[in-house]
Chain A
Amino acid sequence: MTVMDGNDKKKVVEFVQYLISNPNLKAETPVIREGMIITFITSNLRQLKKTLGSKRFFPHLSPDRVISEILLVLKQMSLGYLMPRIEVWLKNEIDYAVLEELFPLRGAQAGLGQNRYRSMLQEYLTLVLAYSEVRYNFNSVVNIFTYRALDRYLREVFHRRRFIFNEIRRVERLDLDCDEYIEYAKILFLIKNSVFMRVMLSSGSGKRKANINEAQQLSMSMPEFVMKLARSIKEGLPFLSEKAVVTAIKSNFRERQTGMKEASARLFHIIGSRYQDYKHHGRIDRAAESLDKSWFNIARSNSRFYGFNEKMVNELYLIAGDNMW
């Protein structure tokens, strides 16, 4: 086995480009492509190693080395797609004045100004986006920011003052006005995929690192997961309140895993799920319902399966229908 040289790296990039150009992946964003290719690699690992070590591919390199180079190329592609967008959002899409009111900086951080929020968020996101599953699930955030989903839906929710509004105001007792709630939601969406980071948890056979999926599969204690993860997030973003962090984490949970007072988590779970696979169509087929109306209507039928709050999905469906979204 020899060391990978520049020519080999070029070939790996070519190979990744080929995989990306597959008709099933072509229409997807780089982060979804990365996720799908990683899924392919993990589910065909043995066979893949054999193939990559064959004469037609990289016989002079260790298959493990080739696979890690493939993963690195994919990661660079995803980050090349995500980071410039995140920079733009942090610069233009977040109202730091509102953020300052919602989460004032305390202690040594107090008085450092709005740029401090920006730099902390930037650093934190760079850290969490090192995880492939965080990148994959960040697709929903990209779509939400790109298509201004929070502005559109939350303004309607506050304008209509129906079930979701009541849940937020009266049950969750979150006394924010519409603009404040939108900023609150944006910050929570930026950090909600932290659940795909691995944190140290105790299991039957000792301690091990796990993300939300692994913790659920191994039936680990979810309260412990939430507590440990919240602590980890707060280390990176100390200005956030405990409640906000827990809401962000729980917005990845099914309805029955959230508490009575966690309306925002339930709402963000629905919106996040809707925009994870969102594909914007310039022109909708004439006889078809609009994108969001279709999705929310299907979600109404499958609400139990997805773990959505039925009344919330119903209200979002009506909002989408009335606005032809």
Chain B
Amino acid sequence: MVEEDRMRNKGFWENFILTAIVLVIIHTFLYDLGALLRWRVSVRNIVILTGLFFDTLFTVEFIVRSVIQGKKKGLITYWLYNRGWADFLSSVPILFFSSGPQVLLLCSGRTSEGLAAIGVLNILKIVKAIRVTRVLRLIRVMKIFGKIKNADSVMAQHHTATISTIAVSIVIFVIIIFTLLAGDPLGNAVIERRNHYEDLVDVVRYETDDGDLLMKLLQGDELGLRLSKNGTLLFSKVPITLWDSEIWYEDYMEIERGGYALTVSLEDINIKSALYNIRVFGIILSLVAGFMLFYTRHFVQIVTDVLFVVNRGFKERGYTLQVKIPKQYADHEIFELARFYNDRYLPAKLKNMHKSKRKKQSSLSMDDLLKYGNQKSDF
């Protein structure tokens, strides 16, 4: 009874985590879709909070699994062979470098002072500088491996999960390494934009320190959002009271130069970035789907199904079906084994069965009889 309850609980949590994994994959897509479709700030805030929930959940799940496996002395097996490392990468770093800082930023009122007060400004700066957090989120896809039972065979599931994990990890790490070494084109676009507007302010200041000229130039520029001089607001395309609710915090940057505070839009760059992320996300999901749908089927057909038949032939007395050997794979080692099973083992097995039938060997034994006597002691 206790064991039954334990199994039911385990089943419930496994299903809960599986649902959460599917939802987090949808969430990862929605995050970038929000930027692409310019969703309202309030909706995008909910997306950020939901991300924190998922990452916290998976971090807790990872810790719990590690503790449980540690108690069973299976921690290394979990980490190295049961994708513990993937569970780690798809939870802890994302919580600390992506969703965690984002929520902190949200709670701090999105001001540098607020962030400095809670001591995460430096982390956020580093994370933003290398711009890998969005790619990191894609690692979440790896959690799906091993959770979805897309084949009856444990071996097929394990191999599909391994090859998918390797493929997805390589895609993600290549992107990260290229970003770190060669720089992110979108990150460079932000720097270029910053330099451009800093130069603009400098040029205007060199000609005249008249705020009017800069104001007129920026009002005609679709990227110029707001300008103030020495704390006095000169113009704002969005009313200041609606600023936080209308403009997404990542969609603009502040440039301070000689008393001028200039706010410039980054929305176009972020849309390109979101599109790029969706593309990468699409590639990764397609890879996973391809492995799960096509590779698993292929693997099952040419490996596990064959082993299944051979195994039944070895174990079950009455099982005498031969293995189908496709011509195109006939030289594979597994089909060489199958050929031995077909041509040598099964004929020998049937000969033995025939001989034992001739010798009148029964499948029953006296033990079967004694068991009956013991069951029916009142006989």
Contact = CB atoms under 8 A, between A and B. Distances in A.
Interface of A: 11, 15, 18-19, 22, 24-25, 27, 36-37, 39-40, 42-44, 47-48, 51, 54, 56-57, 277, 279, 284-289, 291, 293-295, 297-298, 301-302, 305-306
B306 A287 contact: yes
Interface stretch (B98-106, B181-189, B257-265, B339-347): B339-347
B308 interface: yes
Lowest 8 CB-CB distances: which A-B pairs, in order? A287-B305, A24-B363, A40-B362, A56-B373, A288-B321, A301-B347, A40-B364, A294-B322
Contacts of A295: 320
B102 to A, nearest CB: 48
Interface in B336-379: 342-343, 346-347, 350-351, 354, 360-366, 368-370, 372-374, 376-377, 379
B312 interface: yes
A11 B364 contact: no
Contacts of A286: 300-301, 305, 308
Contacts of B309: 285, 287-288
Nearest to A295: B320
Interface in B20-44: none
28 contacts: A19-B372, A22-B364, A25-B363, A36-B364, A37-B364, A39-B360, A39-B361, A40-B363, A51-B369, A56-B373, A56-B377, A57-B373, A284-B321, A285-B321, A286-B308, A287-B301, A287-B306, A287-B323, A288-B323, A289-B321, A289-B324, A293-B322, A294-B321, A294-B346, A295-B320, A297-B342, A298-B322, A298-B350
B109 interface: no
A43 B361 contact: yes
Most buried by A among B318, B363, B373: B363
A56 B305 contact: no
Given A285-B308, A294-B322, A39 B372 contact: no
Nearest to B306: A287
Given A43-B361, A56-B377, A279-B318, A51 B366 contact: yes
Contacts of A37: 362, 364
A60 B369 CA distance: 18
Given A19-B372, A43-B361, A298-B346, 6 more contacts: A25-B363, A39-B362, A42-B360, A285-B309, A287-B309, A302-B351
Most buried by B among A11, A54, A295, A298: A298
Contacts of A15: 372
A305 B301 CA distance: 34
Contact of B322 (A22, A297, A306): A297
A24 B317 CA distance: 9
A56 B305 CA distance: 48
Contacts of A288: 309, 321-324
A106 B351 CA distance: 46
A287 B324 contact: yes
A291 B377 CA distance: 44
Contact of A305 (B343, B351, B365): B351
Nearest to A285: B309
Contacts of A27: 318
A18 B364 CA distance: 11
A306 B372 contact: no
Give the most central of A24, A25, A43, A294: most B CB within 10 Å. A294
Contacts of B350: 298, 302
Nearest to A293: B322
Contact of A44 (B322, B346, B366): B366
